Structure 1
Amino acid sequence: MKNYFILFCFLLGFQSFAQKESDFYTDKIKDAKKKVDLVKDYKVNNKDDQDDSEKLQKAIDDLTASSKGGVINIPAGKYYFKNVVLKSNVHIIIDSKATIYATYPGNNKNFVIMSFGDEKHRATNVSVRSNKDMYTVDLSVSQNKNVRMFQLANSENFLIEGMNILDDNTKFNGITLGYVKYKGEYVMPENGVIKNCRIEKAHYGYGLIQSQAAKNVYYENIWGDGGVTLRLETGLKKMNDLQVGGNFNIVAKNIYCQNGNAALMVSPHSIQNGHVEAENVEAVNCGFAVRVGKGYVSKKQKVDNLKPGTYAGTSKITNVKSTYGTTAQVKSKHFRYMPCEDRKLIDGKNPDGESYKAPSCATVVNTAEGKGGAAKGYWNIEITNVKSIGYPHQKNDIMYEKDAVKDCNEGK
């Protein structure tokens, strides 16, 4: 495992990675020998509000007992799930007229509706997809706001497709990718595709997807209302302290944000990440279309001789477009990138309690570029073909750390 990881990191510095979806995920659903229906075969009542988790888990476990796995059909109706673990060679197909709700766990502890593997099980060749159009996950009515739909850690060769999340400022991203300790080693999701998914009314600090740890993952056609649609941010304190995780060979296409903070965020904290590339990034009435952050370390991490994080120098973002709006989600730390003329339009805080209802700042903010190199947390990323629409006062498509204006009264 260690030798493979060293080779993987070495290659990242000398090549660009494949751009085709088929290079990231191999669909094994045709290999499944058995198909079951959650309602007909496992007697789930899809009209009541009772917890269906145990029956879905039994269906997964029954199919996993076969080396060829199987397919679980979830027909139209409503379902209540919590803490379900998807296991190898199981594929779930959800009807576009089905709605998934989070079962209240009885406390305010963090929980997930479905995990792709866990600390005991490595889930390989797995998928959750819609049968047509999008199925719905309604988190807006969840009694516990500390919930996410999907969590991926101990998984390989996975697909998530066709999900629409109705949110209302829940605590987490709808989909999270992270690490877990499995058989004495830290592992992360590898080789997967997440596409044709969206979220509505997301919290400023979250959004549709956050990837803290992943290798070889492809995103396409992802849409967010509120928050950050795709957050490549390795911000978990424990992960940074242990120096595990990170994002390696991440490719994203067609990323959209409206009424939020950003469509795409790339922030390394103190992790040495690999190659990332994105194209066709668009924002309407968001703080930014793209946020790129420099690396940094805490006081404790300096004592431990950790270095500020980076992404590979081959990383690139192209075709970025932003349309100005006046009611975006903007935190006070980003007011410095907003033209002084626009700051008078900053209104009170949004329902998330953290961000302000404020004008769009700029199409791109890139604080990773600066003097001092990696020792100061700076790293290089190529950003090309940037277009800004309707900004009345912002003169720059890309704002850098040196462009920040903290006090509009200075020099007067």
Structure 2
Amino acid sequence: MVTTPDAALDRFRELLRIPTVSLDPDAPDADGTAFLHFHDTVARLYPHLHASLEREVVAEYSLLYRWRGRDAASPLVLMAHIDVVPVVPAEWTHDPFAAEVVGSGDAAEVHARGAVDDKGSLVAVLEAVESLVAEGFAPERDVYLAFGHNEEVAGDGAQAIVEVLRDRGIRPSLVLDEGGAVVEGALPGVTVPTAVIGVAERGVMTVHLTARELGGHASTPPRDPATARLARAVLRLHRRPFPTRLVPPVRAMFETVAPHTTGPLRRVFASIGLTGRLLVKVFPRLGPELNALVRTTAVVTELSGATGANVLATSARASVNVRLLPGDTAASAEARIRRVLGDPLIEVEVVSASDPSPVSPWSGPAWDRLVAATLSALGDDVLPTPYIQLGASDSRWFTAISDHVYRFTPFHLTRGEREALHSHDERIRVGSWLRGIGFYRDLLRKS
């Protein structure tokens, strides 16, 4: 196999062109052809890996690989997911499944759905393992590659993989999934690139708010139609957000970056035990990412009403996406939503919910391995720090079998690149992606 950067990039682009859009969980006859094609293409592109690792398909389309080491105990698990979110092609500057390279040199960008979320990590893992196997490297302990197929729809792929491992009595010493990245400018006043490593992730809930009425013709509306009651409920929820607070990993993050912060913020972060109550009130004004670090968030994402423009709605519904900060629970969030609405005529239904994950330690051997790989591959000027993962990932299922579950995407990502996730013009710089391969190689060599 040719292992030049250009050859690695060609393999990356080939896999990005396969439209592995998440399968509809409510459609039992959903077409999984793209996922099967992805499986076959991976097997063709990475022959050394497939000659040395054991592969099994789980839950129809997820992939689990085992790389046997000298010791089967306390293995390393590297995670990623195969599926990507849908696209609206008209919104994209470049074809989302063409994987075009824009620009040249280290700053060239690959534009494609999944470039960062999450085929960037998946293919970087494959490249790292393929090259190490080709070099004759054998890990000290077993390594598992766990690639779920339906992370974007909170599906059962990763859960099924966890059950397979649990049934075999496997308890990983380190699990690494997508999550934080190397960022600059995300934290106010911080002067160095920061590798934010998720030690926990927020829980996620979907809540339906529903108002009902008899319906009828829109020419004779009632005094208080269902749509008006629902609108009031939505505004109440928006105007009374969850309270802010400082959770231990976020406190540790600001204590870590304090020596690398300019101006008065340096002293503020260093003494966050005293200043924390004030900071959490200021952070929501500084941007959505900082807001999400210090409070449970709730936002209405879908609205539905009548079937026609001249028809009164017999029911009007709002879907609320809730992301739970550690310390909150689905039950406590539901109770607060009911209090805020204060309207017994608004039905509150929790459609799905998972509580925040346990918090993994940011000290000890597992953490030290992540930090060492970060510094060696991504730059010794990078500052690793604990972090709360803002979105949900497949890694939350692995907390059932490991106390050391982390969330880190080993790429330097600009604000624009982060904002393009789940949006149009998703992209990654080629140089950043290639350095990510080095991160996985270094982490594997320490397995």
TM-score (norm. length: structure 2): 0.24
Greater share of residues in strand:
1
Structure index of larger Rg = 2
Relative contact order, CA 8 A, sep 6+: which one is greater? 2
TM-score (norm. length: structure 1): 0.25
Greater share of residues in helix:
2
